[in-house]
Amino acid sequence: MGDKEEENKLIEPAEEKISWPYMTIKSFSTSLILKVAAVGAIWGWGYMNWSIGWLLPPVILSVWKVENSRSSELKRLTAQAAVMAKEKDIITSRLDELPSWVYFPDFDRVEWLNKILYKVWPGMNHLVRDIVKEKIQPAIVQSLSEYKMTGFQFGRLVLGRIPPKVYGIKVYETNTSRNEIVLDCDILYAGDCDISFSLGNIKGGIRDFQLRGMARVILKPMLNVIPLGVLRIHVVQAKHLMKKDIGMLGKGKSDPYAVINIGAQEFRTKTIDNTVDPKWDYWCEAIINTRSSGLEVAISLWDWDPNFPGVETDDLLGRASIEVSKVKKRGTIDNWFTLEFAKHGMVHLRLTWLSLSKNVADLQAALVETQQLRVTSMSTAILTLFVDSAKNLPCLRGSKQPDVYLEASVGSVVGTLTYSISILMTKLNLEDMQHPYDLQNADPESKVIMSMSLHVLKYETPEINIDEEGDEEDFSQLQKKIERQESNISFSQGSSVPSTPLKKQASKESIHSVVNSTVSSSAAVPPAGEVEKDIDREMIILSESVNTSSAHPELIKRHFSITSSTGDWKLGRIQLTLRYSVPRQKLVVVVHKVANLPLPLNDPSSIPDPYVKLYLLPDRHKETKRKTAVLKDNCNPVYDEQFEYVVSQGDLNERVLEVSVCTQKAWLSSSNNIMGQVRINLSEIDVTQAFTNWYDLMPEIKKSSLKVL
């Protein structure tokens, strides 16, 4: 037995602890004595005035011997460790700092993150400087004020070129909520930052700052706050819709209704029979759950056919769309929108963006607003429920597990929960997160874990910028401002002005083209003789407050056209506004008014029933045809209707806008109904800016003619 043990001892190599030749007390003392002796010898050599040639050879020989012995020792120990399979001892002995993923296998390397930090670090300096100046510095000043220390401020703040390094990240998979992600990050920062600050007359700074430690990052909640807001839509009315049904007497009619789509949400108004000017007064609310800038409110008008029910078989009366992002930015849009895919027709929409508030005081304002509207379908708040889980539910049929819904299960009720909203209103931020609730009519241990959050609908008045590109639909705010200015108009006595009241241009394009400048309050009213001239006139309206002490009266310059001219051809004149929207790739045409239409020579008592018809040549078909409403017995009709054409900017210069003023034909009349016409070559004008002008009506241009006027 003893022989075997001795044999095993001979076979198994004795474990020998390898000591790496790093500094010890003995080595330190020896090195110190040798260095003192060497320095003393050198000093004595100089004291004796001996030649330096006797000193250099011994020093060089000594250095070579020490380095050679150290290298040999390292090679020997490395070979011994390799033979004894002690790679771990080699690594741990030669490296003072190792990344966490070496020690802990549950840490993952994130070299991809370090590469990203290396790329973005130079641009982080501006962001960090703003954060320090706006948030960290005020917090430090407030803290130091408690100790009567004032005057703290940061001076130089440079992060340097060396970013922090993340050695490893650990993601916790257990013992965490399903609504959060917990990370441990092993971070090392040894950068070249240069930070200076001052406290009164004392100056300080941070340089060569180093930091090594574990940072815990908790990401919660995993989902964004949903919903983001509520869009309140009011479909007021429509006018001048197309007539899809032919009546017995030859007069058309329609049975219109509207369908509103916002994403997957759809709303429908009631159907109004036998009208082309329906008034719905319909309210609906859409919950917005996405931040997508392309989300639109799409409204389509249909003619209901009682013989063929269903949207697919009903006739389309036109469509309109509004971007939700524009409504959110402006707060409210209240305007008439021209229908697309229709010859004529407009729809009046009022859209309001309601943000979500956590303040209970805002609930009273929301209640007052809904009471004033007197609409029972309006909401004042949104209750959001997030059901996390349910535990210990009873089995209904032996050991079979039920298919559970939030309120009921297939077969029978598993349990019920009644919660008073008034209790939720007493909670902090109007929310109760991850709370277990006991189920009624269930086992005593049955619980449901869910989160509840209450959001009050709140209207916030935004800052409106009327000069922003793409704002051609919404000019109600500017129009209201002009109305307020007109209420303060005062003209000096003795000035000659027309007795006919001035009418507002209901076109934002025309307003944009003229609301550009501020004129001195001393501007004079033009003489009567100039007003009576048969030319286009720009009237300057001087807005002065009733209180004469106002130092800055505001003036609005608008194209109020005062004309008595019938044009060169004695057929009347038409006022148009042209504008091209580059982002929307649309040509916007606004028909304002027609003036001084002539009466028939053979029957002066026959007053025309005028309407305006538009074509975008060279295409002459129903897709490019636009038509205004018919105004009965009127030689000076005012339309203020807006039409749009989808056309690329490159094709715009090849297009010609044909505008015809027509009168409604008598029954079975074969005479031509065109009273006058004008063709506008779009290549000759700059329609990227709003352009408003009067045009003389000319005789009808035959279709075969290529002449452009």
**pLDDT given for residue 269 in this prediction:** 92
Looking at CATH, the fold of the domain delimited by 505-709 is given as Immunoglobulin-like (2.60.40)
pLDDT along the chain (709 residues), means of 10: 48 46 73 84 78 73 83 71 55 58 74 90 84 89 87 86 88 81 88 86 84 87 71 91 71 85 90 89 87 81 74 80 87 88 88 86 81 77 74 68 55 68 78 76 73 77 52 44 40 36 36 34 38 36 33 35 67 89 83 87 79 87 82 87 83 88 65 83 83 87 53
Contacts of 188 (CB under 8 A, 6+ apart): 97, 164, 165, 167, 211, 212
One fold for 229-357 and 505-709: yes
Architecture of domain 229-357: Sandwich (2.60)
**pLDDT given for residue 410 in this prediction:** 38
Helix (H, G, I), strand (E, B) or coil at 457: strand
Helix, strand counts (H, E) of the chain: 14, 29
Tokens representing residue 551 in the block: 């130092």
CA distances (Å), origin 334, targets 475, 584, 645? 9, 20, 22
Measured in residues, the chain has a length of 709
User: What gap in Å lies between CA 92 and CA 318, rounded to an integer?
Assistant: 77
**pLDDT given for residue 525 in this prediction:** 38
Domain residue ranges in the chain = 13-96, 111-219, 229-357, 505-709
Neighbouring C-beta atoms of residue 250, cutoff 10 Å: 8
User: What gap in Å lies between CA 576 and CA 591, rounded to an integer?
Assistant: 5
Q: Is the pTM of this model over 0.85?
A: no
